[in-house]
Amino acid sequence: MLLDMIQTVSGRYSKKIDELINPIKRYGISYFCWQTVSNTGQWCIIGNQPDWLEYSAEHCFYMHDPSLVHPRFYHSGVYYTAAYEEERFQDTIIGEAEKYFDLNYGLVIAEKKAHGMEFAIFAAPNKNSWVINSYLNYMLELKRFISYFKQEMAPVLLQLHDAQVNITKLKPDFDNGPYLSGIAEEPSIFSDLELTQRQRECLHYTLKGMTAKEIAKLLCISHRTVEIHLDNIRKKYGVLYKRDFFLWN
């Protein structure tokens, strides 16, 4: 059933998905996967690299996937897969994707719905470590892409819904298994560094897609002060370059 879903839907439409992600490839991204998990355990998945999806299904990697648990464990937010340190997850899904399929630096944008969870998963080639910069700088664009993807793929997603698999029959701990406990409104790749309260506010609203001017108005501070806070955040993170600064101008 699982392989049938991947081969008949993801395999058939992978080229279309690859074409749809062309606008975000300039951010260093090469992979996109869309996954839903319902409150009753109905699971469907589609992506632009069905060979990886088939490989992970054949090797039962869903057993170690922390997103495949009951949606009650989740809320809407953003998560960086490298921050989830569970050994089996890192050795299988992360390690083998990196080694055999040149997929690395995974980012998950999760959205809670009444029926369950929706997960948009992005990844990049091993050489594109700078994609981490893009995840911070272009969060709004990635969220817009998700809306665009759902609109363009609406008929296919309906077809995918009809082919979905009940994950409770494959994964016994669906109802109480480990989950991405670090999921939050702000990517956890940036959560461990000490920021001032004002810096955290600026980061929070930046990740929501607000400009420096909009943040300044909301926080009742100057535009220049916001820019200083964002510059200091960049310095603390040590992952951003001057070429990325223009987004917040």
Question: Sign of the C-alpha dihedral, residues 192, 196, 198, 202?
Answer: negative
- With 70 as the cut, is the pLDDT of residue 184 above it? no
- With 80 as the cut, is the pLDDT of residue 87 above it? yes
More confident call, 111 vs 194: 111
Q: Given this model, what pLDDT does residue 143 score? A: 92
Query: 147 in helix, strand or coil?
Result: helix
Q: Given this model, what pLDDT does residue 191 score? A: 44
Structure tokens at 189: 């790749």
Read off the pLDDT of residues 52-83 as tens digits, 9 standing for 90 and up.
999 999 999 999 898 898 998 888 888 878 77
Structural domain includes residue 128: yes
Domain's final residue, options 169, 201, 232: 169
**205 and 161 in one domain?**
no
Instruction: With CA atoms as reference, report the closest residue to 29 among 37, 40, 17, 38.
Output: 17
Instruction: Please report, for the domain that includes residue 224, its CATH number.
Output: 1.10.10.10
Instruction: Say if strands 116-124 and 165-166 run parallel, antiparallel, or are unpaired.
Output: unpaired
- With 60 as the cut, is the pLDDT of residue 200 above it? yes
What backbone torsions phi and psi does residue 21 show, to the nearest 5 degrees? -85, 5
Q: Given this model, what pLDDT does residue 224 score? A: 85
Structural domain includes residue 186: no
Q: Give the structural domain span for 216.
A: 191-247
Read off the pLDDT of residues 126-174 as tens digits, 9 standing for 90 and up.
999 889 888 888 888 999 999 999 999 999 999 888 889 999 999 888 8
**222 and 147 in one domain?**
no
> How many domains would you assign to the chain?
2
Domain's final residue, options 169, 199, 220: 169
Q: Given this model, what pLDDT does residue 95 score? A: 92
Structural domain includes residue 178: no
Q: Average model confidence (pLDDT) for the chain?
A: 83
The least confident of 45-59, 77-91, 111-125 is: 77-91
Q: Given this model, what pLDDT does residue 177 score? A: 61
More confident call, 2 vs 146: 146
Structural domain includes residue 225: yes
More confident call, 97 vs 225: 97
**225 and 142 in one domain?**
no
Confidence band for 46, pLDDT divided at 50, 70 and 90: very high
Q: Given this model, what pLDDT does residue 228 score? A: 82
Instruction: With CA atoms as reference, report the closest residue to 119 among 191, 37, 200.
Output: 37
* Section 114-122 average pLDDT: 95
Is pTM, for the whole model, over 0.95?
no
Structural domain includes residue 161: yes
Cα end-to-end distance, the chain, whole Å: 50
Confidence band for 6, pLDDT divided at 50, 70 and 90: confident
Q: Which neighbouring-strand residues pair with 2? A: none
